[in-house]
Amino acid sequence: MISIKNLNKVYKIKENTVHAVKDVNLEIPKGEIFGIIGLSGAGKSSLIRTLNRLEDPTDGSIIIDGIEITKLNKKQLRNLRKEIGMIFQHFNLLSSRTVFGNIAYPLEIAGLSKDQIKDRVLELLSLVGLSDKVNAYPSQLSGGQKQRVAIARALANNPKILLCDEATSALDPQTTKSILNLLKEIQQKFGLTVVLITHQMEVIREICNRVAIIENGEIIELDTVEEVFARPKTETAKAFVSHIHPSSQSEIVFPKVPNSKVIKLSYLGESAKKPIITDLIRSFKIDINIISGDINELMSTSVGHLVVQITGEKEEISKAIDWLNDQDISLEVIWNG
């Protein structure tokens, strides 16, 4: 569906040069919800805006459904953009138009008749749960309602791809969850390919199949959401995950007991539901103090995180850790006593 090859975006601001996107290569198949996460200034907005050429790349290629979009003329680009909806952080609604008028706007540009526009707008308002707001103005809506209008507008021309540029970062947690649930429902109903950028790992956890982590314009880690949560490889990925799951001594409070180790366990799927601690205590002459733990339900599986302190003879602790490594459990030693 989307193939990005050796993509670069360079901005020249007066005498300064900013290399916002550096040699990015990505393959995003049809029907995937693909997340791109990074800190402010990492290059994620520049990257996603090249996918519909709101930003023209400096060099490299972007191929969508077999079409090299960097070579399209203005007319061809207008036709392509009908197939790519976009949702923005600050909604970008027209304040002078009603909810109906905002959703109707791209349909008017596309040349649909008044009856066709009316039918399509009412259909979309029902889809996003705002049928009662048809004549309201943006100033009369909450943030979540504004984003629902923006989603309906992005879907007006039946796009194949939906781009979400920090679509929930201006919303409170409860509203964010409702918007993400709506996006999942829409993706499943229409089989859309969704590319979502965010700086919130909670959003990635909730909705995405795979995630790319971008730093200084480069993709530094790319994997399934489950793998990144369970076994982050880069320091940036670990920092994002630890925002949800504390993983270092500085973030976890525990007693400094001699002859002990504090370890963080991360495990996927069915292993997240096994009685690991019970089996450890029964199998080895050790004591275990559970410091923290949780199980998160991702899009397709469970990811568990558990921080424990193991106390006992060194040999028994070593045997216990060897056993854990055999259980397909990722293990990180946080503290040695």
Rounded Cα gap, residues 9 and 217, in angstroms: 9
In a domain, 161, yes or no: yes
In a domain, 47, yes or no: yes
Number of domains in the chain: 2
In a domain, 15, yes or no: yes
Rounded Cα gap, residues 279 and 259, in angstroms: 21
Res 31 pLDDT > 80: yes
Beta strands in the chain (DSSP E): 2-13, 16-28, 33-37, 59-64, 67-68, 84-87, 161-165, 193-198, 210-215, 218-224, 260-268, 286-297, 302-312, 329-336
In a domain, 57, yes or no: yes
- Clarify whether residues 180 and 314 are in a common domain: no
* Reported confidence tier of residue 249, pLDDT bands at 50, 70, 90: very low
- Clarify whether residues 294 and 228 are in a common domain: no
- Clarify whether residues 265 and 137 are in a common domain: no
Higher pLDDT, 25 or 326: 25
Distances, alpha carbon 161 to alpha carbons 9, 78, 137, in Å: 22, 15, 27
- Clarify whether residues 78 and 206 are in a common domain: yes
* Reported confidence tier of residue 330, pLDDT bands at 50, 70, 90: confident
- Clarify whether residues 185 and 268 are in a common domain: no
- Clarify whether residues 319 and 182 are in a common domain: no
How does pLDDT run across 156-172, given as a tens digit for each residue? 999 999 999 999 988 99
60-74, 136-150, 251-265, 295-309: the lowest-pLDDT one: 295-309
- Clarify whether residues 147 and 268 are in a common domain: no
- Residues above pLDDT 90, as percent of the chain: 68
Q: Which two tokens stand for residue 337?
A: 């006593």
Q: 66 in helix, strand or coil?
A: coil
CATH of the domain at 215: 3.40.50.300
How does pLDDT run across 98-143, given as a tens digit for each residue? 999 999 999 999 999 999 999 999 999 999 999 999 999 999 999 9
- Could you tell me the residue range of the domain that residue 273 belongs to? 260-336
Q: 61 in helix, strand or coil?
A: strand
- Clarify whether residues 310 and 183 are in a common domain: no
Rounded Cα gap, residues 289 and 334, in angstroms: 14
In which element (H, E) is residue 140 found? none
pTM for the model = 0.81
Res 212 pLDDT > 60: yes
- Clarify whether residues 181 and 273 are in a common domain: no
